[in-house]
Structure formats: structure tokens, C-alpha cells
Amino acid sequence: MAFSVAISNYRTPIKTNYWLWIFITVFLTVWINSLAGTSDINNWILENTLTFLFVIFLCVTFKKFQFSDLSYLLMCVYLCLHVYGSKYTYAENPFGYYLQDVLHTSRNHYDRIVHFSFGFLLAYPMREMFLKWLRYPRFVSWALPIEITMSVSALYELVEWAVADLFFPAQGVAYLGTQGDIWDAQKDICLAFTGALLATTIVSVVKKVFKINEVESQLKN
């Protein structure tokens, strides 16, 4: 019961929602640090364009629509991973190099981590949005996050191509971060899809094992 109440903490006044303030503080700290220490300001701007739009969306819709604390936590973690990658460019990320040395991989896999995290960390907030905001049936709320993850991932790869090849060719190599892998786009899409599929599966199993129904009942009220 405590778990279900914690993750269904909607309509909490922002002044008293301490968890939300913690998430905002952590994200802004990481974001400002990524800007202050970036090695390529033009790439940072390109990488953070969607971040700006996403944050603006959350701010504009906050009064009318609010996510649970769990969803805000997942979104915070994903945004932090993304902006940390933009600080150095994904292909030159220090943490990726660390993993490369530890795991003895052939490339810097930080970009793979972020693409997987896109599906794994944002599938639950998307599902929550479809249940709570749009009042979609439960089956649809399970399927749409997976489908949207694949669609958005494919669209993002097209945007990357357009930015790198048509609009900002000087930043193309740094922005794409393919590291010589001709199947980089396809692998990124597959990882995002796998992350979303895994996240929805975990949520489904947890709900059944712990018999958590309070969240969905509140969403439908």
C-alpha cells in the first residue's frame, strides 16, 4: 500500500513536494555543469535542443497535468544521462571510456546506454500519461509506450541525419557519434525498443506480484 501511494502522489502543491524540488535541483546542477564544462558548445546546443523543449513542455503543462514522483524521478535520471553525454559528446564521454576499459569493448558505448535508457526510463511516464491524462484503456497504455519509443527513436535518427548532413555538416561527426558503425542507427532504435519492452514487462510483473491496483484506480477517477 505504501508503494502504491508513493507512486501515485499527484496534485501535490509544488511548494511542499520536496521530492520534486530535489529532482529539479539535481537536474539543473548537472545541466549547468554540462554547459560550463562542455568541450564543444555548438554540439551542446544541438544535443540540448530537445532537452529545452522537453523541460518547457513539463513546465507549461504542470498546472493542469502532473506526473507521479516516480515518473519525475525516471525523467530526471534520463535527462541527467542525456545532458551529461552532451557535455563531452557521446563518442568522447569519459564514463563510456571507463566502461570500455573495464568491459574491453571495441567502442565507447555511452550513447548506447542513453538510447536504452530512453525506452527503459520513459516508458512508465508515458504509460502514466495515457492512463491519467488521456484516459486510455489499460491495454493501450501498455502498447503505446513501446510503439512510440520505436517511432520517436526512428524519427530522432532521421533528425540526426538531417542535422548532420544538411544543416550543420561541421558538427555532423560529433553529433552522430557513430564511431564507424554503419548500423549505429538501427542498433540505437533496437536498444530503445528493448528498454521500453523491458520496463513495461517489469511494471506488469511488479503490479501482479504485489497486487498494486490503487494507482490505476486513482488514475481513472
In contact, 201 and 123? CB cutoff 8 Å: no
Query: For position 167, what pLDDT does the model report?
Result: 61
Residue 2 has pLDDT above 50, yes or no: no
Q: Does residue 96 or residue 15 have the better pLDDT?
A: 96
In the numeric block, the cell 513539463 is attached to 58
Tens of pLDDT along 18-77? 899 999 999 999 999 999 988 888 888 888 988 999 999 999 988 888 899 999 999 999
Extract the runs of DSSP E, i.e. beta strands, from the chain: none
CA 152 to chain CA centroid, nearest Å: 11
Which grid coordinates belong to 115? 538510447
Distance CA 39, CA 41 (A): 7
8-12, 174-178, 197-201, range with greatest mean pLDDT? 197-201
Q: Write out the three cell numbers for 19.
A: 521530492
Render pLDDT for 41-55 as a digit per residue (tens, 0 to 9): 888 888 898 899 999
The C-alpha atoms of residue 165 and residue 189 are separated, in whole angstroms, by: 20
Whether pLDDT at 165 is above 60: yes
pLDDT at 176: 58
Which residue ranges make up each domain of the chain?
Answer: 2-220
CA distances to 70, 86, 100, 115 from 82, rounded to whole Å, are 19, 6, 19, 9
Tell me the pLDDT band of 5, cut-offs 50, 70 and 90. very low
Per-residue pLDDT tens over the stretch 183-219: 778 888 999 999 999 999 999 888 888 777 644 444 4
Confidence of residue 12 (pLDDT cuts 50, 70, 90): low
Tell me the pTM. 0.81
